[in-house]
């Protein structure tokens, strides 16, 4: 059954492999030469392409896994050969998972090397975080299962893919907004404002002594009335330092340091793998309720 599942989708899998090969060559050539590729002619073009790649790859393969069978009616032939629906679905999803996970996994070390060769900054920042590390495998697996679930419900690969793109993008945005809280951030306190630390800076500002976060009802830039009045009357660094001292303030940076990169990677990957399992369960329910 596994061999049959491969043969049915082999053209799509080989096409996906070709895409990954082209992307890999692009990354290798641009990294070796130390210059960006054609897509860097536009601002952040390469980052946009690589950010979208895992989701598009997973959705393209996932929507065809079940929807193609339903659309052509070949699922009925398989189910009439003493093969249970669960086994039929398991074999198709198992092959798809291995292919998608393997293809994106091949990109992990190459993307890590390429991002360091062409882009400045630290990997924990959102710009590079989304295209490096194991999280891209989580994105692709979630997209695969999302596509399979939508295909099992809609039965048309094209429409399932079209529905999957905004859903996947929305989930990415929501999880991305929660990323900074997946691992407790670090606070760095200094007497006065200094250059920002190395990492992903979340918040910063003057706070009262003894606090590393604003009091309830206040923001990071919500100074006490005494300090705000003092700052409004000064225009020099010496005057600002005087205001800081009399108002008993200190400067606080709240950030995710580079050392939290892998903790954040595994935490976000776990979320997307969990969502992929939800998609798997939804696909199984839809297939079991499909009329023969």
Return the pLDDT at 174.
97
Structure pTM? 0.86
Cα–Cα distance measured from residue 244 to residue 194, given in angstroms and rounded to the nearest whole number: 14
Return the pLDDT at 103.
94
Return the pLDDT at 40.
45
Cα–Cα distance measured from residue 281 to residue 51, given in angstroms and rounded to the nearest whole number: 26
Give me the residue label for tokens 């060769």: 117
Return the pLDDT at 227.
76
Residue 248 near residue 209, CB atoms below 8 Å: yes
Residue 65 near residue 92, CB atoms below 8 Å: yes
Find, among 250, 253, 254, the residue nearest to 210 by Cα.
250
Q: Which residues lie closer than 8 Å to 45 by C-beta, 6 or more apart?
A: 39
For 23-36, write each residue's pLDDT tens digit. 988 888 877 766 54
Integer-rounded Cα Rg, in Å, for the chain is: 25
Instruction: Report residues of the chain scoring pLDDT below 70.
Output: 1-9, 33-45, 71-82, 117-122, 290-292
Return the pLDDT at 38.
42
For 156-214, write each residue's pLDDT tens digit. 888 999 999 999 999 999 999 999 999 999 999 988 888 889 899 999 988 888 888 88
The pair of three-digit structure tokens given for residue 149, joined into one six-digit string? 């679930």
Strand partners, 253: 188, 204
Return the pLDDT at 36.
47
| H helices present in the chain, as ranges | 2-33, 45-72, 74-79, 85-118, 126-129, 135-154, 157-178, 225-233, 237-246, 261-288
Return the pLDDT at 119.
66
Q: Which residues lie closer than 8 Å to 101 by C-beta, 6 or more apart?
A: 137, 140, 141
Counted residue by residue, the chain has a size of: 292
Cα–Cα distance measured from residue 266 to residue 10, given in angstroms and rounded to the nearest whole number: 31
Following DSSP, what letter does each residue of 84-98 receive, concatenated?
-HHHHHHHHHHHHHH
Cα–Cα distance measured from residue 235 to residue 144, given in angstroms and rounded to the nearest whole number: 57
Find, among 117, 109, 99, the residue nearest to 46 by Cα.
117
Return the pLDDT at 150.
94
Return the pLDDT at 3.
52
Following DSSP, what letter does each residue of 177-221 receive, concatenated?
HHGGGTSPPEEEEESS--PPPSEEEEEEEEEETT-SSPPTT--TT
């Amino acid at each position: 059954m596994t061999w049959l599942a491969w043969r049915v989708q082999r053209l799509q899998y080989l096409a996906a492999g070709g895409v990954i090969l082209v992307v890999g060559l692009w990354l290798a050539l641009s990294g070796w030469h130390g210059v960006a590729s054609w897509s860097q002619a536009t601002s952040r073009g390469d980052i946009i392409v690589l950010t979208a790649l895992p989701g598009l790859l997973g959705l393209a393969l996932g929507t065809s896994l079940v929807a193609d069978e339903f659309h052509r009616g070949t699922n009925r032939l398989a189910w009439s050969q003493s093969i249970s629906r669960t086994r039929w679905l398991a074999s198709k999803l198992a092959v798809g998972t291995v292919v998608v996970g393997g293809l994106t996994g091949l990109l992990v070390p190459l993307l890590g090397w390429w991002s360091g060769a062409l882009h400045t900054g630290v990997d924990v920042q959102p710009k590079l975080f989304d295209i490096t590390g194991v999280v891209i495998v989580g994105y692709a697996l979630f997209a695969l299962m999302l596509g399979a679930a939508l295909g099992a419900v809609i039965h048309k690969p094209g429409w399932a893919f079209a529905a999957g793109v905004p859903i996947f993008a929305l989930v990415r945005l929501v999880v991305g907004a929660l990323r900074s809280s997946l691992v407790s951030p670090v606070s760095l306190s200094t007497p006065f404002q200094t250059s920002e630390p190395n990492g992903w800076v979340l918040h910063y500002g003057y706070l009262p002594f003894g606090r590393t976060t604003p009091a309830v009802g206040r923001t990071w830039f919500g100074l006490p009335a005494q300090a705000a009045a003092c700052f409004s009357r000064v225009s020099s660094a010496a005057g600002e330092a005087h205001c800081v001292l009399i108002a008993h303030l200190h400067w606080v940076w709240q950030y995710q340091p580079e050392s939290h990169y892998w903790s954040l990677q595994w935490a976000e990957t776990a979320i997307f793998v969990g969502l992929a399992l939800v998609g798997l369960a939804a696909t199984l329910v839809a297939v079991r309720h499909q009329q023969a």
